[in-house]
Amino acid sequence: MKRLVVLLGLLAVPAHAADDPMAAANAFYAVYAAQHVQGGGIPDATGRLRYSAVLTPRLNRQVADAAAAQARLSAKVRNAVPPMLEGDIFSSLFEGATAWQIGACTVAGQAARCPVALTHDVPPAAGRKPEKPAHWNDVLVLANTPAGWKVDDVSYDAGFAFGNTGKLSEMLAMVVAANP
């Protein structure tokens, strides 16, 4: 029998996700799958609420701080200003992933690293030649918090010429630093 942890009646995360990094990584991608269709960039308030159950307090704070920096920029410019971050922030590829396979997580103390094989597959459109799917690898970095295992960062490991590089936390910190 699975127990459920419910956050504000909106989110359900399997209780076993708190006990196991692999289960926590799967819980993250369950939220990602639902949110990814909403578009990219820094998640809006509803998206941040949904992600809050699967991200560490540190990463939740960074995402919220980056959203606030974007809001400050928009208020300052007073014109339609493009988002400081566009595209998928949770993977190396701008378009994001449509499928993933989590590899064996390596645990060292209160931290875990879970390699993830990701795929972006574009459905064929009428009159267009089918596109070849993109495949790449990223790494989810998890931390064992008092509430259990949560995603604490994403290492972008694809090495795409025009994709995300480094770490999600570094990218969020740049957004905040650019508009304090």
Sign of the CA dihedral running 90, 153, 170, 119: negative
Question: 46 vs 163, which has greater pLDDT?
Answer: 46
What's the average model confidence in pLDDT over 23-38?
88
What's the average model confidence in pLDDT over 154-158?
93
What letters, b where the CB count within 10 A reaches 16 and e where it falls short, cover 22-58?
A: bbbbbbbbebbeebbeeebbbbeeebbebbbbbbbee
pLDDT of residue 102: 97
What's the average model confidence in pLDDT over 111-120?
96
Using the predicted structure, report yes or no on whether residue 7 has a pLDDT greater than 60: no
What's the average model confidence in pLDDT over 156-170?
88
Which residue matches tokens 């995300």? 164
Range 4-178 classified under CATH 3.10.450.50 = yes
Q: How far is CA 27 from the centre of its chain?
A: 11
Percent of the chain exceeding pLDDT 90 equals 52
pLDDT of residue 178: 79
Sequence ranges of the domains in the chain:
4-178
Q: Which residues contact 122 (CB under 8 A, 6 or more apart)?
A: 130, 131, 133
- Give the confidence band of 5 by pLDDT, cuts at 50, 70, 90: very low
Highest mean pLDDT (candidates 20-24, 68-72, 173-177)? 20-24
- Report phi then psi at 174, rounded to 5: -65, -40
Count, residues in the chain: 180
Strand partners, 145: 148
Indicate the pTM of the whole model.
0.82
- Give the confidence band of 101 by pLDDT, cuts at 50, 70, 90: very high
pLDDT of residue 136: 95
